[in-house]
Amino acid sequence: MTSNRAVAYKGPGVVEVIDTPYPEFELKDGPGVNPANVGRDVRHGAILRTVSTNICGSDQHMVRGRTTAPSDLVLGHEITGEVIEVGPDVEFIKVGDIVSVPFNIACGRCRNCKERKTGICLNVNPDRPGSAYGYVDMGGWVGGQAEFVLVPYADWNLLAFPDRDQALEKILDLTMLSDIFPTGFHGAVTAGVGVGSTVYIAGAGPVGLAAAAGAQLLGAAVVVVGDLNEERLAQARSFGCETVDVSKGDPGEQLEQLLGVPEVDCAVDAVGFEARGHGADASHEAPATVLNSLMTVTAAGGGLGIPGLYVTGDPGGIDDAAKEGSLSLRLGLGWAKSLSFATGQCPVMKYHRGLMMAILHDKVQIAKAVNATPITLDEAPQGYADFDAGAAKKYVINPNGYIAA
């Protein structure tokens, strides 16, 4: 049997490259696999040789020990691959296709999938709607930071690129289609970004930068990105964004200096539950800070897109409320200003093909925007450490040598 190597979570702050079973068309028992999913027949699936698989900020929450992820969970939900085997129920996806894998696992059959709500599929996670590869409490589908990975419901889930050579030439852009580009774009769309909008994006990590690129693609007049990390703010400026340093205080005053008013039309939270305070409190975790700040700086009638991750269980939360995902939000302020809120997993398929076409036809350079940086599978643990330390890079793991040096 073919061997397989993968990146696994070992404990807080520790990831290692391990030997792991080669995929089969059946979901086997293993770390994090929901007992009700063990033995699940995946005749509708495909086995991929991984072309690229990215380290995500969502992975970092697990690696920091901020979830209930078990040891030896194989990580990775941002996957691009080459199809090398298909199950007997696969009709349209072919061996040899280069494909993008939405991080949402969806059946294509349930009510939510039929309504394009693929982030909350009802049939792939026995515990609750929604699933993802290599992620805690998501059903136990094995992650893709590996040499090989199984994708269920292949005809439904996989987006095949039209030309192999073109795909491999643009792979650093196309690899962002599995998660962060649609996720950031979804944040901008749900916030209401349109032609002429002024937009504030909290967080200059890869999702925030993807949201900024998405806002530009949607026609925003001004995109302002806020963060504590100057290197990441410089990355935002590199493709035409304005920036604010929230270590200097709440963003309103800095927004007024940039825009003439202390408010924006719409805003995106690309930070999530490990948010820190602003100004003098920047060294302390304060998980409601970003959401409350965005309600303050968004004009009445505006919208907040919230692709930043919030969890129902956080062992490292600052208090008992935070440990169960309960935050002290100024909901009264949001209500008084008639703000709209959109949360949850991005339904990747809603945007998948359109953003692919934007990449293939050179309407956006998402790899440049997020500073895509290829590394080998063996370099993944160091990549995790560097990303956690604040590197302004999007690490793209190249486990099978598809990405040229």
403 within a domain of the structure (yes/no)? no
CATH number of residue 128's parent domain: 3.90.180.10
Token duo for residue 402: 């598809």
The pLDDT value recorded for residue 300 is 98
281 within a domain of the structure (yes/no)? yes
Token duo for residue 17: 């490259």
- Confidence tier at 9 by pLDDT (50, 70, 90): very high
197-240 confidence digits (pLDDT tens):
999 999 999 999 999 999 999 999 999 999 999 999 999 999 99
404 within a domain of the structure (yes/no)? no
CATH number of residue 258's parent domain: 3.40.50.720
Mean pLDDT of 283-311: 93
Dist. CA 46–CA 153, nearest whole Å: 8
Are residues 362 and 328 part of one domain? no
Q: For residue 252, is pLDDT > 90?
A: yes
402 within a domain of the structure (yes/no)? no
User: Which amino acid is located at 217 in the chain?
Assistant: L
Are residues 192 and 325 part of one domain? yes
Are residues 52 and 36 part of one domain? yes
Percentage of the residues of the chain whose pLDDT score is greater than 70 = 100
The pLDDT value recorded for residue 276 is 87
Return mean pLDDT, the chain.
95
Count up the domains in the chain and report the number.
2
Are residues 285 and 339 part of one domain? yes
Dist. CA 68–CA 71, nearest whole Å: 9
Dist. CA 63–CA 20, nearest whole Å: 19
99-147 confidence digits (pLDDT tens):
999 999 999 999 999 999 999 999 999 999 999 999 999 999 999 999 9
405 within a domain of the structure (yes/no)? no
User: Which position has the token pair 């930071």?
Assistant: 145
- For 213, the domain range is 180-343
The pLDDT value recorded for residue 280 is 82
Are residues 353 and 215 part of one domain? no
The pLDDT value recorded for residue 321 is 86
94 within a domain of the structure (yes/no)? yes
322-338 confidence digits (pLDDT tens):
888 888 899 999 999 99
Residue 106, Cβ density class (10 Å: 0-12 exposed, 13-18 middle, ≥19 buried): buried
Are residues 163 and 267 part of one domain? no
Domain boundary among 298, 321, 343: 343
Residue 168, Cβ density class (10 Å: 0-12 exposed, 13-18 middle, ≥19 buried): middle
Closest CA to 138 of 270, 273, 33, 244: 33
364 within a domain of the structure (yes/no)? yes
Are residues 316 and 220 part of one domain? yes
The pLDDT value recorded for residue 1 is 54
Are residues 89 and 50 part of one domain? yes
Q: How many CA atoms lie within 13 A of 75 on its CB side?
A: 28
Dist. CA 193–CA 64, nearest whole Å: 33
Are residues 197 and 130 part of one domain? no
User: Which amino acid is located at 292 in the chain?
Assistant: N
> CB–CB of 330/368 below 8 Å?
no
Ramachandran sector of residue 366 (left: φ over 0; alpha: ψ -120 to 50; beta: rest): alpha
Are residues 250 and 321 part of one domain? yes
When mean pLDDT is compared across 1-5, 155-159, 365-369, the lowest value belongs to 1-5
Dist. CA 268–CA 225, nearest whole Å: 9
- Confidence tier at 285 by pLDDT (50, 70, 90): confident
Domain boundary among 343, 363, 381: 343
Are residues 189 and 293 part of one domain? yes
Are residues 194 and 156 part of one domain? no
Domain boundary among 302, 324, 343: 343
132 within a domain of the structure (yes/no)? yes
Q: For residue 313, is pLDDT > 60?
A: yes
CA distance between the termini of the chain: 30
Q: For residue 284, is pLDDT > 60?
A: yes
373-394 confidence digits (pLDDT tens):
999 999 999 999 999 999 999 9
Q: For residue 176, is pLDDT > 70?
A: yes
Token duo for residue 186: 């979804």
